[in-house]
Structure 1
Amino acid sequence: MAPPVEPAKPADHPKPDAAAKPGGEKPKDEKLALVLGDLSVAPRAQLRVRGELIGDRTLAGGVSQTVFTHRARLGLGAEWKDVARLVVDVQDVRGWGAEVTAAPPAPQDVTLFGKVAGSVDLQQAFAAVALGPAELRVGRQAIAFSNERVIGGVDWTQQGRSFDAIAIASKAPGTFGYTGFCSIVRDLDFVPTATTPGLALCAVNVEHKVLPAFRYAPIVMVEMTDNDTLLSRATFGARFDGAVAGFSYDVDALGQTSWVGRDVKLAYLAGVRANYEVDTMLHPKAGVTLDYVSGGDPATADVVTFDTTYGTNHKFYGFQDLFLNLPVHTLNRGLLDAAVNLAVTEGPFSAQLAVHAFAPTAYDGPGAFYGIEPDLVGKYDLSKQVSLHLGGSLFVPVGEALGRGDQTAPWLYGMLDVKL
């Protein structure tokens, strides 16, 4: 069995870090909008710089890494009447000191001659056309479903996630909304030597807020490869959430069917979050979390590990990101994540503490436990446009089920985020 793949960088905080808004913000909502008759044009920009101390995630006691990365985005939105709009966002994502030059005798002064290939990319580029109460969007776009359990913007990563897609969504927020899209994820006509199959994705998410204390959000998504002997998959289920008198809850129930030819596999995921907030100084909110992700070896079992596909896993399974890629990072052994958390907010300051205990759901060997991870993150808003972030975590391995070493892994970060 292949060893777990090391995550290259962490990927999406819940508070105190919000996810990217799907579809881009409309120009009329921007303070910098330039109005020319029926045409509204608005620029936007972001620079986000993050420094991180990343411990050895093989847990073998290796050397920690200290890295600085940045996201630089420059975008433009244009809207004609409420009939059509265009959104284009260009971004540069790179690690500081990663610039290189050609081999000697080429100049070696990277501050002058350096270049990072492929660092500049389109984060979004789409056209949107109003269709009554709905909007049709065509092009490259950020899309997030509900709480981002299986489709998310992964905004914590500097690059974020975008889909080349055709989407239709309800225009105005309210008690009822929907988003549906189809995307070409991989097209082998452009990369004929690729070893992975071509892949298309179609998904629908509906949200209906019946009462302040109850909202349900069903989701269906289907992934199809261009080869019937290779993996295709359907994911389905719903989210239920609500809040009343300081108490809030959030429940996910998802199933997954995958098939290779006629060989059908099943998987499932269940998640429960419950919190209670006190309306007093610091607005303390205490809560508990329980996530259950099925596990099983696809070579021998009928029930296998649930694949979180395009989800924002950093929001759910610890900020250390040792479980960023399910099922790879658990060796197909599933995941049970039990956590307690405490959050406080006062004016421009917010902080969150969570303590996770991780274990497998499909492992019969000795030491059937993964480890314990406390996370502490904080955010301070200097203004609406500028925020400072600090945080860290420590993963303490316990047991042998994770299949890595037994050394602790620290992670610390500091970040400056400027949005205009």
Structure 2
Amino acid sequence: MFARSAFWALAAVLLCAAAYAEDAPAEKKTDDDRHAATTEETAKPEPPKEKYNPFSLSIPLSDEEDAPSIKLRFFGQHRTRYEIRTPATYTAALADQTSVQNFNMRTRLGVDARFPGNANFLFELQDVRLWGDEPRAAANTVNSSGFEGLDVLQAYFYTTNLFDLGIEAYVGRQKFTVGNQRLISTLEWSPASRAWDGIRIQRSFFDKQFTVMALAMLINDLSRVRDDEWMLGLSLRYAPNWLK
């Protein structure tokens, strides 16, 4: 009898404790807790840090912490390729059935300088030659392969936000590509590649899905007897995101 009474008394105490715990008010937050929560909510995420690039250099224009700076990015390329051609020439006349094999070499070094105010300049040198084609170290002359050895591949001024309207403009010796590059391309397969003197202006819309480009290229013909000839063009490109 006593054991049964003790059991029911213990059960009643446990039920009352559970009910009290449910009705008890939540623990009040201290001032430190409120300050910590407010700090977490108002804290702004830090911007992602730029990845370290050993080929870039930043030159500040003053000793101030947020002083504008000139950013230099150095880049380069080297390509050595073995070629064999059989037959050696492709003409309407009787084909030359002899084979030609050689090693061609292309080396490029350049710098991309970005100045405050979105005024930039890119300069790139290129050296192209065939192994054994140059008998001695001489001046920059056209060798028997038709390559000019050391030459300026690109040298142009550019901006990516002309008049704060999102217009890109490029002026100087540069590479031009239009559409699928069937008519105008840089022809990177060729050791010497292609570049022209000219002007290129373009503007993208709808998250770069639609691009309008206008260009003016100076066609250089060493045997010309008339004035310089310009090639003018207008290109419209539409590439929706769902096709990418």
Q: Would you say same fold, with TM above 0.5?
A: yes
> In the alignment, is the contact (CA less than 8 A) between 2:108 and 2:125 conserved in 1?
yes
Among 117, 129, 150, the alignment partner of 1:120 is 150
Match in the other structure for 2:201? 168
Match in the other structure for 1:333? none
Match in the other structure for 1:200? 230
Among 159, 173, 183, the alignment partner of 2:217 is 183
Structure 2 residue ranges without an equivalent (≥5): 1-49, 61-68, 142-147
The offset of 1:119, in angstroms, is 1.2
Change (3 A) 1:200 1:39: same
Match in the other structure for 2:72? 41
Q: TM-score, normalised by structure 1?
A: 0.37
Structure with bigger RCO (C-alpha 8 Å, 6+ apart): 1
CA displacement, residues 210-269 of structure 1 (integer Å, 9 cap, x when unaligned): 4513xxxxxxxxxxxxxxxxxxxxxxxxxxxxx6xxxxxxxxxxxxxxxxxxxxxxxxxx
Change (3 A) 1:51 1:116: farther
Alignment partner of 1:78 is 2:113: yes
User: Which structure has more strand as a fraction of its residues?
Assistant: 1
CA displacement, residues 349-407 of structure 1 (integer Å, 9 cap, x when unaligned): xxxxxxxxxxxxxxxxxxxxxxxxxxxxxxxxxxxxxxxxxxxxxxxxxxxxxxxxxxx
**In 2, Cα distance between equivalents of 1:139 and 1:29:** 31
Change (3 A) 1:99 1:168: same
The offset of 1:156, in angstroms, is 0.8
**In 2, Cα distance between equivalents of 1:136 and 1:124:** 15
Change (3 A) 1:139 1:30: farther
**In 1, Cα distance between equivalents of 2:242 and 2:51:** 26
**In 2, Cα distance between equivalents of 1:29 and 1:162:** 31
**In 2, Cα distance between equivalents of 1:182 and 1:136:** 12
Q: C-alpha root-mean-square deviation of aligned residues, in Å? A: 2.8
**In 1, Cα distance between equivalents of 2:231 and 2:198:** 9
> In the alignment, is the contact (CA less than 8 A) between 2:204 and 2:212 conserved in 1?
no
User: How many residue pairs end up in the alignment?
Assistant: 172
> What is the identity, as a one-letter code, of the residue corresponding to 1:144?
T
Match in the other structure for 2:242? 212
Over the matched positions of the two proteins, sequence identity in percent amounts to 24
CA displacement, residues 157-191 of structure 1 (integer Å, 9 cap, x when unaligned): 1111111001112379721223221011137xxx5
The SS at the match of 2:190 is coil
Structure 1 residue ranges without an equivalent (≥5): 1-27, 101-109, 214-242, 244-420
The structure having more radius of gyration, on CA atoms, is: 2
1:288-367 equivalence runs, <5 A: none
The offset of 1:116, in angstroms, is 6.0
> In the alignment, is the contact (CA less than 8 A) between 1:49 and 1:71 conserved in 2?
yes
The SS at the match of 1:212 is helix
